[in-house]
Structure 1
Amino acid sequence: MIRIHLLEGKAFVWNYTDARQIREKHRIVGTLVGALARKPRQNVRMGLPLQLLPEEARLLVERGVATLLKNPACQPHGDDTGQGPSTLEDVATYQKGLEENYREQLRLAAEQRKALLDTLAERIAQGQAKKRQQKGEDGDPPSKPADLESTFAFPRESMMVQLPTERTQPGPEEEINCRVPSQDWPYAGQQGHELRYRVFQNLWQRGYYVTSGSKFGGDFLVYPGDPMRFHAHYIALCVPKDEPLSLCDIISAGRLGTNVKKTVLLCSVEQDGTAVYSSLQWSGMQ
């Protein structure tokens, strides 16, 4: 069962296996929003957690492959003197593992530097001989250091550390019902969410990949295949069936779709839950 954690009304997946299964098996893309450990300031390539749209999370739950979970409010920790023997033993084991990891990385870094120096040895020797000639010095070149590890500096700040993205021993969790509105899941019963979900569900059932369309001014972007391989073909705008739509909005949507080479879909839902689509394409002046 895929575990979807709720935080302030947002749905997150922290487990890598679950995130991969969501995309490969269920055609749900989501958005990676976590910073990478080695490049925390860049925002081009992100990592876990995977944030899901409310519609994506609800679809997985209604298909019976996922569950919504809420962690209770964290309680303040006491001082370290109140820790039990098992906790102190785990800390000692963790510290020992860090030290072993550092020694291994130090050895590998020293070997890599030695291999690099070996490849440049001839060039270095020529440069040193040229300098000695310029200074008028004679004699044999200085000997090569015998022990590289004793002179090689590898700061602990440069050590690569594995950052866990989920708890190995989860604490108490509360399951949330997506059909009942609550502070953690406020979408249940909302007209806008119900409309978007019915459209999202229908497009997904037709075999499309559906993601957020906010960057193109729509509700969803609709792809014929995995977004890693295809461009979106449609921009989906969800509008209530009986709600009037101004001519300016229609023209703006049509021009936007033409400029980004996508077809705009005006999506509505009938009383019986059937999704209805109208496509817009800007033909221009003839």
Structure 2
Amino acid sequence: MAPDSNPVPSPLPISCITGRYLLFDIAVISHVRRTHNICGVLIGTIPNLSQQNVFLGIPLELTSEEARVLVERGHAYIVNDVKQHREGLMEMKRADRLEWMKELDRQGMEMSREALLKAEERSEKALRGKGLVGKGHGDTESVNSKAEGDAESLIDDAAKAPVAGVAPEKKLEPTFITPTTSHPPLPLAPISSALPLPAVPKSYPLFRYLHSRGYFFMPGLRFGCNYSVYPGDPLRFHSHFLATGVDWDEEFDLLDIIGGGRLGTGVKKAYLLGGEDSDAQAEVEENGLEVKPVRALSIEWAGL
């Protein structure tokens, strides 16, 4: 799909449902990953295979840190998704609803037509591969009357059969489409209805600092840290750091540093420990947001 065929709104709405921050639009998900270094985690599953957890799809769930950094930098705003849907459906006219359902039927019929044409093309290709289509009938003088009768029968049958590439409309049934977004038919929630900034953990200053340097993030739970930090898209790069954010005056056990350093080195990463300098003077970012500087230390285990 061409990028301009499905434009992404700016700022873009992030749906808040029961305290979880979700994105449902594939174009928006691609945009925030490509443009804003936001990966999130896919959590959607197939209704009849609800136990599978290998190939998940939309929606994409954002962490509170990811949602907040997008809002703070003016790229997004948080909306109460349930409230917006209730109000939108109540205000939606019956004629608009019927028109939208008719459009879904049209799209479903188009999908069915394309699926049927592709099936016919596969069948024709398979028959060609077996030599059952496109062969000549040999020398007509050496063919007996029975063979001629069979050939005529085949010709008659071929004439009665539908032409490949033309799908008979009466045999088609529309594919049922479940839209992943409600825009359209419902309008986008106005920015004036945006919710407050998400609450974030104490590791957020380190997240914001690394994100401003162009890093990508994935959950670091399996490594015993807050984030796995990547120098580029995780689909192309291995992570460089196992990052843990702490408060400036927070006390922590030396064994945690030793364990993190050894684990990070064992998986070819550096253990990163960082926090916001509460004693330093605030700095102004490009978007006008005042933030205090963050200091981070990387720890690697070395044999002595």
| 2:180 counterpart letter in structure 1 | T
| 1:23 counterpart letter in structure 2 | R
- Residue 58 of structure 1: how far off its partner (Å): 0.9
Match of 1:176 among 170, 188, 195: 195
Match of 1:84 among 91, 94, 98: 94
The equivalent residue for 2:44 is: 34
Match of 1:65 among 66, 75, 99: 75
Q: Does 1:279 align with 2:298?
A: yes
Partner SS for 2:210: helix
| 1:270 counterpart letter in structure 2 | D
The equivalent residue for 1:166 is: 181
The answer as to whether partners of 1:203 and 1:210 remain within 8 angstroms in 2 is no
The equivalent residue for 1:210 is: 217
**CA displacement 1:115-145 (0-9 Å, x = unmatched):** 211221359x9xxxxxxxxxxxxx7589755
Partner SS for 1:176: coil
**CA displacement 1:146-199 (0-9 Å, x = unmatched):** 35559xxxxx9x986554211112368431021xxxxxx4x16xxxx2x32211
**TM-score normalised according to structure 2 size:** 0.68
Task: Spell out the pairing of 1:53-132 with structure 2 (5 A cutoff).
Answer: 53-73=63-83, 84-95=94-105, 97-99=107-109, 101-121=111-131
How big is the alpha-carbon RMSD for the aligned residues of Structure 1 and Structure 2?
3.7
Which is worse superposed, 265-274 or 95-104? 95-104
Partner SS for 1:267: strand
Match of 1:225 among 232, 245, 255: 232
Task: Spell out the pairing of 1:247-266 with structure 2 (5 A cutoff).
Answer: 247-266=254-273
What is the alpha-carbon distance in structure 2 between the residues aligned to residue 100 and residue 25 of structure 1?
A: 32
The answer as to whether partners of 1:258 and 1:282 remain within 8 angstroms in 2 is yes
Relative to structure 1, the CA distance from residue 33 to residue 159 in structure 2 (aligned partners, 3 Å threshold; closer, same or farther) is farther
**CA displacement 1:209-263 (0-9 Å, x = unmatched):** 2332223211111112222211111100112232322233223212211221111
Relative to structure 1, the CA distance from residue 26 to residue 84 in structure 2 (aligned partners, 3 Å threshold; closer, same or farther) is closer
Which is worse superposed, 211-220 or 226-235? 211-220
**CA displacement 1:82-137 (0-9 Å, x = unmatched):** x83443454345435534542443233123212211221359x9xxxxxxxxxxxx
Relative to structure 1, the CA distance from residue 197 to residue 109 in structure 2 (aligned partners, 3 Å threshold; closer, same or farther) is same
- Residue 45 of structure 1: how far off its partner (Å): 3.8
- Residue 24 of structure 1: how far off its partner (Å): 1.8
| 2:242 counterpart letter in structure 1 | I
What is the alpha-carbon distance in structure 2 between the residues aligned to residue 159 and residue 172 of structure 1?
A: 28
The answer as to whether partners of 1:14 and 1:49 remain within 8 angstroms in 2 is yes
**TM-score normalised according to structure 1 size:** 0.72
Aligned residues: 250
The answer as to whether partners of 1:105 and 1:159 remain within 8 angstroms in 2 is no
Match of 2:247 among 240, 249, 258: 240
| 2:28 counterpart letter in structure 1 | D
The equivalent residue for 1:197 is: 204
Q: Does 1:13 align with 2:23?
A: yes
**CA displacement 1:24-49 (0-9 Å, x = unmatched):** 22222222222379987654443322
What is the alpha-carbon distance in structure 1 between the residues aligned to residue 206 and residue 107 of structure 2?
A: 50
The equivalent residue for 1:25 is: 35
Partner SS for 2:65: helix
Percent identical pairs in the alignment equals 31
Partner SS for 1:68: strand
The equivalent residue for 1:181 is: none
Question: Structure 2, unaligned stretches of length 5 or more?
Answer: 1-10, 136-145, 164-170, 281-291
